[in-house]
Chains A and B, each alone.
Chain A
Amino acid sequence: MEMRRDNFDIAAELRALRPAPTPAFATELDRRAAAGFPPTSSPEDSAWSRLTGRLRAASPRRLALPAGAAALTAVVIATAVIAIGEGGRPTSPPRQVADTGRHDGERSSDHRVHGDETPAAGHAGLKGQAGLAYSFSDASPTAGAAASLSGGAESASGSSSNSGYLLQTAPSVTGAQRHVERGAELVLRSGPGEIAAAAKGVFAAVHAAHGIVLSSSIHDWTGNAGSHAGEARAAFELLIPSARLGDAMASLSAIADVRSRHESTLDITAPTITVSDRLKDSEARIDGLLAQLASAESDGERGAVEAELRGERRQAAALRSRLDRLQSRSNFARVSLRVESGRPTASDSGRWGAGDALDDAGHILATAAGVAVVGLAIIGPPALIALLVWLVNRTWVRRRREQALG
């Protein structure tokens, strides 16, 4: 037979060599196909392996829908839990209360309470909360106090800004009374036409607390037309004895709805003690100079001592003045109070209105967005690692398959 063939003949002969399944195998495979290819896995296969097998078989598009639904459900549940945990139905706007209570520590971070909490209750609750991050130990060694009284602590004595002392910069005092400057800001919202009554209540509360009204201003447009029609507002600057600040704030908060409330404390023990000690030193030097003056024998010596005495007395007067100011700051708390009254709204009438709905919706959306971001932060890194592992594994398997061919 002629063995020389062209490519066409070789292709034809190759096709003739095509392997074919045996009838028995073909019949068996057809039977399995008719049955929908039931899994050949043994009954001992775990539910987990069956589940993973199903997941592997499912298309990404099919998985995307339930995965997205599960993620959405998780976000909704987390949002609901957070919203409920914040005090039930979110009512806007949330009040911000920064309260250091009766602690002698530094200014605090804000603590939020919701509008449906009563001011007095909120205040009382804050005072009782041990979880707030104010801790200040009164029992500290005196050696450190003496060392820190000079210099740095003194430099803070004139400051009444919002920046409080750090714990480590405040000198420790044993057996001495702490000097704490307290301050508060309060914003109230009264009903339409109630601004005058609110102002009257403010004066009464200040009087009851033996406080001082430093300034007050009241504007009432309730009877006027114009852009401010129906509005009224009042502003007060008050000095309240520090010991009565809590009672005074409770009284003031009861006058109208509290919109915001901030309280702060500033430990001025260190500058007070420093100035006090320097004053004592100065007075001792004055006594010494007076003794020198009494024993002076010449006019020249007497004149020199008198000059030194005048200087020391000026120094003592300045220190006494500073000490008075510090004690005044310690004895009286400055309270800034605003009372606002706007046009009547559904919220003012106690009903839940469209504005509240919008605020609540914004609050819920913000919470949901926060939950989603936190969720992404948690899920993101493991998902990225899983993706990388999957890609590496896929590449490795492909290479091994190609290697299997040789």
Chain B
Amino acid sequence: MSQAVAEPTDAPPGVQERSLVFDQLYRESRDDVFAYAAGLLRDRGAAEEVTATAFERAYRKRSRFDPSRGSARAWLFGIVRNAALDELRRRGRQAQMNAEPEDLVDLGTAHPTERSELRLALTGALDTLSGGERELVALKFFAGLANAEIGRVLGTSESNVGTKLHRIVNKLREALDGDA
């Protein structure tokens, strides 16, 4: 999937340990980070830029990671989120987010031939969600974060995340039912 992250060979043991942790984090999270960024930004080019920027920032700041304050993934996605939101601010994506998004099905690796009617309807239903709701969907279903990790990223409680996700899924289901 990926190569090991480079680290100077004469680095102190602590740094080398961190490098192993970061290497593992990178390998485990690369696709998740991209999926979250793409789900939030709905722009493949911007998602790639944000993903690269976020990993670069995380690598530079890897010594500031404190395991006592949460998991490495939560820490990484906090950085990704900031980078993504900065990108939204810089490019004035607010309007674009509410305008014409790229087709999520096209963004994914799902086989185009297997596009189901449901997925198309679901893609449409996602457009009815607010930015914050779409972010929750991206963190939960695209990036695969646990509710506790999402809570850490968003600065809210795990139960609150669970409640919100339940409401979002219900909202999507109602939208699908309405279409049907």
Of the residues B1, B59, B88, B172, contact of A10 by C-beta under 8 Å = B172
The answer to whether B88 touches A404 (Cβ under 8 A) is yes
Interface string of B100-111 (1 = CB under 8 A from A): 000011011110
Bound-state Cα–Cα, A242 to B38, Å: 96
Q: Do A405 and B135 have beta carbons less than 8 Å apart?
A: yes
Q: Are A16 and B108 in contact (CB under 8 A)?
A: yes
Could you tell me the dominant secondary structure of chain A's interface residues? Answer: helix
Q: A1-B116, A11-B141 are in contact. Are A17 and B34 (CB under 8 A)?
A: no
* A30 and B3 form a contact (CB under 8 A): yes
Residues of A within 8 A of B55 (CB): 29, 32-33, 37
Q: Among the listed B56, B119, B132, which residue makes an inter-chain contact with A17, where contact means beta carbons less than 8 Å apart? A: B119
Q: Are A404 and B118 in contact (CB under 8 A)?
A: no
- Inter-chain contact B132/A33, CB cutoff 8 Å: no
B5 touches A17 (CB 8 A): no
Out of B47, B89, B172, name the residue touching A19 (CB < 8 Å). Answer: B47
Please name 20 further chain A to chain B contacts, defined as beta carbons within 8 Å, in addition to the given A17-B141, A33-B3, sorted by A numbering: A1-B117, A3-B117, A4-B180, A5-B118, A7-B169, A10-B173, A19-B107, A21-B34, A22-B44, A29-B30, A30-B1, A33-B5, A33-B55, A36-B59, A57-B60, A400-B89, A401-B82, A401-B89, A404-B89, A404-B131
Query: Which residues of chain B from 35 to 71 have any CB-CB distance to chain A below 8 Å in the complex?
Result: 35, 38-39, 44, 47-48, 51-52, 55-56, 59-61, 63-64
Contacts of B179 in A (CB 8 A): 3
**B26 touches A (CB below 8 Å):** yes
Tell me, yes or no, whether A351 is within 8 Å of chain B by CB. Answer: no
CB-CB under 8 A from A131, the residues of chain B are none
Some 17 contacts from A to B, beta carbons below 8 A apart, are: A3-B118, A3-B180, A18-B108, A19-B34, A19-B107, A21-B48, A22-B44, A26-B30, A29-B55, A33-B2, A33-B55, A34-B4, A37-B55, A39-B56, A57-B61, A404-B88, A406-B98
Known contacts A1-B118, A14-B122, A36-B59; decide if A19 and B169 are in contact (CB<8 Å): no
Q: Are B64 and A59 in contact (CB under 8 A)?
A: yes
Residues of A within 8 A of B121 (CB): 3
* 10 nearest A-B residue pairs (beta carbon): A3-B180, A19-B107, A19-B38, A36-B6, A401-B85, A57-B60, A405-B131, A14-B141, A20-B109, A34-B3
A residues contacting the other copy or chain, number (CB 8 A): 45
Task: Report the Cα distance A17→B142, complex, angstroms.
Answer: 8
Name the contact of A406 in the complex, choosing from B63, B123, B131, B169 (C-beta under 8 A): B131
The yes or no answer to A297 lying at the interface (CB within 8 A) is no
In the complex, what residue of chain A is closest to B95 when comparing beta carbons? A406
**Chain A positions within 8 Å of B117 at CB level:** 1, 3
The minimal Cβ–Cβ distance linking B70 to chain A, given in whole angstroms, is 16
Q: Considering only CB atoms, which chain B residue lies closest to A31 in the complex? A: B3
Within 8 Å by CB of B34, from A20, A34, A37, lies: A20
Q: Which of A33-69 contact B (CB under 8 A)?
A: 33-37, 39-40, 53, 57-60, 62
Interface flags, B135-170, vs A, CB<8A=1, else 0: 101000110100000000000000000000010011
Contact at B3–A5, with CB atoms within 8 Å? no
Residues on B facing A (Cβ under 8 Å): 1-7, 26, 30-31, 34-35, 38-39, 44, 47-48, 51-52, 55-56, 59-61, 63-64, 81-82, 85-86, 88-89, 93-94, 97-98, 104-105, 107-110, 116-119, 121-123, 126, 130-132, 135, 137, 141-142, 144, 166, 169-170, 172-173, 176-177, 179-180
- Complex: chain B residue closest to A400, CB-CB: B89
CB distance from B106 to the nearest CB of A (A): 9
Question: Closest residue of chain A to B22, judged by CB?
Answer: A33
Q: Which residues of B contact A31 (CB under 8 A)?
A: 3
**B142 proximity list for chain A (CB < 8 A):** 14-15, 17-19
Whether the pair B30, A32 counts as a contact (CB closer than 8 A) is: no
CB under 8 Å from chain B, chain A span 333-351: none
Contact B51 A21 (CB under 8 A): yes
Tell me how far the C-beta of B103 lies from the nearest C-beta in chain A, rounded to whole angstroms.
10
Given contacts A1-B118, A25-B48, contact A17 B123 (CB under 8 A): yes
Q: Which residue of B lies closest to A12 (CB)?
A: B141
Contact A37 B31 (CB under 8 A): no
Expressed in whole angstroms, the minimum distance between the Cβ of B167 and any Cβ of chain A is 11
Minimum CB–CB distance from A371 to chain B (whole Å) comes to 32
Q: Are B132 and A5 in contact (CB under 8 A)?
A: no
Chain B residues near A299 (CB-CB < 8 A): none
Residues of B within 8 A of A62 (CB): 63
- Known A-B contacts A18-B142, A19-B108, A401-B82; A5 and B176 likewise in contact (beta carbons under 8 Å): yes
A61 to B105, CA, bound (A): 45
A3–B60 CA distance with the chains assembled, in angstroms: 47
**B39, B135, B179 — which one has the most chain A CB atoms within 10 A of its CB?**
B39
Contact B97 A406 (CB under 8 A): yes
B-facing mask of A91-122, CB < 8 A → 1, else 0?
00000000000000000000000000000000
Contact B105 A11 (CB under 8 A): no
A71 to B180, CA, bound (A): 71
Could you say which of B38, B48, B110, B132 contacts A405, with CB atoms under 8 Å apart? B132
How far does the Cβ of B101 sit from chain A's closest Cβ, in whole Å?
11
* B141-A35 in contact (CB<8A): no
- Minimum CB–CB distance from B92 to chain A (whole Å) comes to 9
